[in-house]
Amino acid sequence: MLSEEHIPVLAEPLIEKLILPADAVIVDCTLGHGGHSLLLGSRLGPNGRIIGLDVDPESIKKARDVLAGLECRVDIYRENFSRIDSVMELAGAESADLILADLGFCSAQLENTERGLSFEQNMPLDMRLDERLEVTAADILKSEDENVLADIIYRFGEERASRRIARLIVEQRKNKPITTTAELAAIVVRAKGLNRRWVKSRSKEIAQTFQALRIAVNHELDVLERLLENLPSRLKTGGYAAVITFHSLEARIVKQSFKQLEKAGVYEALTKKPITASQDECRRNPRSRSAQMRVVCKKM
**Per the annotation, does 81 bind a ligand?**
yes
Where exactly does CATH 1.10.150.170 map onto the chain? 112-218
Give the closest residue to 296 by CA, choosing from 261, 276, 267.
267
Question: Which long-range contacts (C-beta less than 8 Å, at least 24 apart) are formed by 157-162?
Answer: 157/208, 157/209, 157/210, 157/211, 157/212, 157/213, 157/215, 158/208, 158/248, 158/249, 159/208, 159/209, 159/212, 161/191, 161/192
102 carries a ligand binding annotation:
yes
* pLDDT tens over the chain, length 300 residues: 444 556 799 999 999 999 999 999 999 999 999 999 999 999 999 999 999 999 999 999 999 999 999 999 999 999 999 999 999 999 999 999 999 999 997 655 556 556 777 777 899 999 999 999 999 999 999 999 999 999 999 999 999 999 999 999 999 999 999 999 999 999 999 999 876 554 454 477 899 999 999 999 999 999 999 999 999 999 999 999 999 999 999 999 999 999 999 999 999 999 989 999 999 999 998 889 999 999 999 997
Residue 3: its pLDDT value, please? 46
Side-chain-facing half-sphere of 8: CA atoms under 13 Å: 27
109 is in an annotated binding site: yes
CATH 3.40.50.150-classified regions of the chain: 4-108+220-298
Please give the CATH number for the structural domain made up of 4-108+220-298: 3.40.50.150
State the pLDDT at residue 126.
95
CATH code that applies to domain 112-218? 1.10.150.170
**Binding site annotation covers 32?**
no
Smallest Cα–Cα separation from 106: which of 129, 78, 84, 87? 129
pTM here? 0.92
* 36 annotated ligand binder: yes
**Is 34 marked as a binding-site residue?**
yes
Q: Is 280 annotated as a binding residue?
A: no
Give the C-alpha separation, 125 to 104, whole Å. Answer: 19
